[in-house]
Amino acid sequence: MAARAPHPHIVILPFPGQGHVKPMLILAELLSRSSLAVTVVNTDHNHRRLVAGGGTDTAGGIDFLSIPDGLPPEHPRIGTSVADLLFSIPKFTKPIFKSLISSMRRPPACVISDAIMSFAIDVAGELGIPAMTFRVCSAAGCWINSHLQHLVEAGDIPVREGSADMDSLLSFKIPGLENVIRRRDLPHICRLSPDNPYLQFEISQTSKSSKASALIINTFEELEAPIIAHLRSIFPAVYAIGPLHASLSSISPNRRCSCSSSLIQTERTCMNWLDSQPSKSVLYISFGSLTELTREQLMEFWHGIINSEKRFLWAIRPDLIIDEDEIPEELKNSTKERGFMAGWVPQEEVLEHEAVGGFLTHCGWNSTIESISAGKSMLGWPCFVDQLVNSRCVEELWNLGIDIKDINDRSTIERMVRNLMEGKQEHITKSTAELARLARDSVREGGSSHRNFMELVQAIRLLHSTKDCLQTRE
């Protein structure tokens, strides 16, 4: 009997942030369940965090390796300091990653790297291995990033914070978004000077990622079809396979991603509290894994939410508040009547809970697409990167909520929370329900994301078989 051919081997390289690691680990599990051999390469720092949380123990069929990120162990790697990783990793990690790939007993058929880890595309090319790129942002965010240099040349960058033209539409017309994106809505790096290293980094990474053989993106055709079509003018192939978390739930109902344990310790006590609350009565609040709030910002949100007289569940990371070791006692004491303060919560379950009626969010893409899939309207308060684009699209393009970027006063927050939770805007309620249905349908067998995912798997198998044929001839 002939020996069974080995499964195609894929190496996945996420950028070391919670919002990047989570979707790429879900992708790893989906590929593994499709009979592909998967190796995930995390940084040493994040690998230790995953191991501590048991995230690598239950990931059957997935191998985990790690490499250093070039930063000292005591580096915080949160908030604005996470930007240090952008420059340390390409310089320090690239040769180590190349050595790791070169030493593998089973050379990969393909490398899938985070779009801001584009050095992996160079490494793959040097080793004769195909590379695909994964974008953790929306298609709109990806499309805007591909035009940053054009925006610089047109004078739309830098955006001058507080200037009268922040609400003006862009001078350079980005196809498909001509009447949607204002200067205020551009990624926060667009408020920097054109020669700023962070802006130049994003421009260079976007340019380099276009050299990949395909773009994989965590969105779905029914949400962003026109923009996805534009992205196909840049990449040879685009696979819109989101919402990824819903894809996994579709394969295994009532089961979460077995390998995507949070890098932050998760608390589940909030679920019992939610079970005791009336339907659609709770505002869920979370600003993601990296945002930092000043005490002043925190107190404005708190007063606005308390004054709205709505029930709320607020996920507050231990490191959310700048220069504060703990949540202020006055905040804790004043929330006992209608609120519940938690740490890092199981967000997918929270959003899908019947008691939750709305989401006050930073509009990170994971949070946004999880909210869309769960059918929950949003109040967007973005802070940086693509969050500003997402929040604008939530209101202006998709009619899924209210964009309150650059606003942080208690009276506005109180008013907006009431508007959202009381369903005063019927078009938002209608759009939210319809897009939730389309999101769920997209990942079911025959749906757009399911078809795209199967095409991705087939493309990887073809790369594997082509490599085997070439090796046989040699």
Active site residues: 20, 114
CA-CA-CA-CA torsion sign (229, 231, 232, 234): positive
CA–CA dist 286, 273 (Å, integer): 17
- Residue count (the chain): 474
201 to each of 85, 87, 115, 117, 118, how far by Cα in Å? 12, 8, 12, 11, 11
CA–CA dist 287, 282 (Å, integer): 16
The Cα angle at residue 270 between residues 268 and 276, in degrees rounded to 5: 130
Tell me the H-state helices in 81-136.
84-102, 119-126
Q: Is the peptide bond before 243 cis (omega within 30 degrees of 0)?
A: yes
* Intra-chain end-to-end CA distance of the chain, in Å: 25
Say which DSSP state 137 is in: S
Identify the residue whose tokens are 């609350």: 277
DSSP, residue by residue, 223-240 = HHHHHHHHHTTTSS-EEE
Q: How many CB atoms lie within 10 A of CB 73?
A: 7
Q: Which of 451, 431, 428 is nearest to 441 (CA)?
A: 451
CA–CA dist 369, 247 (Å, integer): 12
Neighbouring C-alpha atoms within 13 Å toward the C-beta of 46: 29
Cα 148 vs. chain centroid, distance in angstroms?
20
CA–CA dist 10, 132 (Å, integer): 10
Burial 340-374 (b: 16+ CB within 10 A, else e): bbbbbbbbbebbebebbbbbbbbbbbbbbbbbbbb
Q: Which of 215, 144, 152, 151 is nearest to 397 (CA)?
A: 144
Task: Indicate the residue type of 374.
Answer: A
Enumerate residues 6+ apart whose C-beta is below 8 A from 91. 70
